[in-house]
Amino acid sequence: MGEPTLRPAPRYDAFISYARSRDGALAAALHAELERFAGSWWRSRRLRVFHDLASLPASAGLRESLERSLARSEWFVLLASPESARSRWVGHEVDWWLANRSTDRILIAVTGGTLRWDGGTDALSPSLAAAFAEEPHWIDLRPYAGTTGRPLLGDIVADLAAPILGVDKDTLVGEHLRRRRGATRTLIAAVVVLILLAVTAVGGAVIARNQAREAERQAAVATARQLQALADVSLPTDPRTALGLSLAAHRIDPGDESDRGVYRTLASTPYVSTLSAHRKPVTATAFASAQRLLALGDDDGAVSVWDLADPARPRLRHGPADLGIGVVSALAFESGGTVLAVGGVTDPAQSRAVSRVALWDVAQPFAVGHRVLPALTGRLTALTFLPGRPMLAGTLVEPYPAKPSLHLWGTPSVAQARPSGAPAVSADGDPMALAATGDGRHLVMGSSQGDGTTIAGSVTLWAVDDAGTPRRIAAAQLGPVASVAVSGDGHTVAAGGQDRTGAGSITLFDITDRKRVRRMDTAFGSRPDPVAGVALSPDGRLLAEAGGRSLRLWDVHDRNDPIAVDTPGEAHQDDVRTVVFAGDGGILVTGSADTTGIVWDAHGRTAPDAAGTVTLRPRGTPADPWWASAEGKMLRGVLGAPGTVTSYRVRALPSPDGRLIVTTDLDGQAVLWQTGPDGRSRQLPVPADRLSAVTWAAFDPGFHLLITAGAERAQLWDVTDPSRPAPLGPAMTGVVPPAAFSADGRLLVIDGVDEDDGNGVLTSTVTVYDLTDPGRPRQLSRIDGTRETLVKSLALSPDSATLAVADSSDTRLYDLSDLSAPVRLAKSLPKTADPVAFTPDGRTLAGVSRQTLVLWNVEDPRDPRPLGTPLPLAYEGEASTITVTRDSRRVSVTTPVPGPADDLGVQSWDMSRLVRLRAEAPESACTMTDAASSGAVEWRRYLDTPETVRLCPGP
* Confidence category of residue 6, pLDDT binned at 50, 70, 90: very low
Q: Could you give the CA distance from residue 359 to residue 342 in angstroms, rounded to a whole number?
A: 6
Q: What is the pLDDT of residue 54?
A: 47
Is residue 390 scored above 80 in pLDDT? Answer: yes
| Maximum CA extent, the chain | 98
Asked if residue 117 has pLDDT above 80, the reply is no
Find how far residue 221's CA is from the centre of its chain: 28
Q: What is the mean pLDDT of residues 484-498?
A: 92
* pTM listed for this prediction: 0.71
29 neighbors 91 (Cβ within 8 angstroms): no
pLDDT for the residue 436: 95
**Highest-scoring range by mean pLDDT, 10-19, 32-41, 407-416:** 407-416
Which pLDDT score, from 0 to 100, does residue 349 have?
66
Q: In angstroms, rounded to a whole number, what is the distance separating the alpha carbons of residues 276 and 566?
A: 25
The total number of residues written for the chain in this structure: 955
- Residue 601: strand, helix, or coil: strand
pLDDT of residue 567: 59
Half-sphere exposure of 110 (CA within 13 A, CB side): 16
Position with higher pLDDT, 673 vs 637: 673
pLDDT of residue 345: 94
Distance CA 660, CA 638 (A): 14
What are the beta bridge partners of residue 853? Answer: 848, 871
Q: Is the pLDDT of residue 297 over 90?
A: yes
Q: Are 692 and 709 in contact (CB under 8 A)?
A: no
Helices 169-200 and 202-234 pack at an angle, to 10 degrees, of 140
Q: Which percentage of the chain shows pLDDT scores above 70?
A: 84
Q: Give the C-alpha separation, 341 to 339, whole Å.
A: 7
613: helix, strand or coil: strand
pLDDT of residue 96: 92
Q: Where are the beta strands (DSSP E) in 778-861?
A: 778-787, 791-796, 802-807, 810-815, 823-824, 829-830, 833-838, 844-849, 852-857
Q: Percent of the chain having pLDDT more than 90?
A: 28
Q: What is the pLDDT of residues 326-341, one digit of tens each?
A: 999 999 999 888 899 9
Q: DSSP H helical segments within 40-81, as ranges?
A: 52-55, 62-71
Model confidence over 191-248: pLDDT tens digits?
Answer: 444 444 444 555 555 677 777 788 888 888 888 888 888 888 888 888 888 888 899 8
- pLDDT bucket at 106, cuts 50 / 70 / 90: very high
In the prediction, which pLDDT does 118 show?
A: 65
| 3-state DSSP assignment of residue 843 | coil
- Return the CA Rg of the chain: 32
Residue 600: C-alpha distances to residues 272, 294, 331, 343, 569 (Å): 5, 13, 20, 26, 11
| Region 574-584 average pLDDT | 88
Residues in contact with 102: Cβ distance below 8 Å, sequence separation at least 6, in sequence order: none
Segment 524-536, tens digit of pLDDT: 876 778 899 999 9
CB 552 within 8 A of CB 535: no
DSSP letters for 215-248: HHHHHHHHHHHHHHHHHHHHTTT-HHHHHHHHHH
Average pLDDT on 575-579 reads 93
- Nearest Cα neighbor of 248 from 925, 929, 954 is 925
Closest CA to 580 of 294, 297, 327: 294
Phi, psi (deg, nearest 5) at residue 4: -65, 145
Res 359: pLDDT: 94
Beta-strand ranges (E) seen in 40-191 are 49-50, 73-80, 106-110, 138-140
DSSP structural state of residue 73 = E
Beta strand extents in 57-215 (DSSP E only): 73-80, 106-110, 138-140
| Contact status, residue 824 vs residue 806, Cβ threshold 8 Å | no
Summarize the confidence of residues 788-807 as an average pLDDT: 86
Dist CA 112 CA 555 (whole Å): 37
Residue 268 is predicted with a pLDDT of 86
Q: Answer for the pair 457, 480: CB distance below 8 angstroms, yes or no.
A: yes
Please compute the mean of the pLDDT values over residues 632-660 and round it to a whole number: 61
The pLDDT assigned to 482 comes to 93
Whole-number pLDDT of residue 940: 54
For all residues of the chain together, what is the average pLDDT? 82
Q: pLDDT tens across 44-103, in order?
A: 467 888 887 544 543 445 677 788 889 999 999 999 998 898 888 899 899 999 999 988
Closest by CA to 943, choosing from 141, 158, 233, 251, is 251
10 Å Cβ neighbour count for 197?
17
Question: Among 200-214, 632-646, 759-773, 834-848, whose mean pLDDT is lowest?
Answer: 632-646
Question: What phi and psi values does residue 399 have, to the nearest 5 degrees?
Answer: -60, 145
Which neighbouring-strand residues pair with 802? 815
Structure confidence at residue 142 (pLDDT): 80
**Can you give the pLDDT at residue 198?**
47
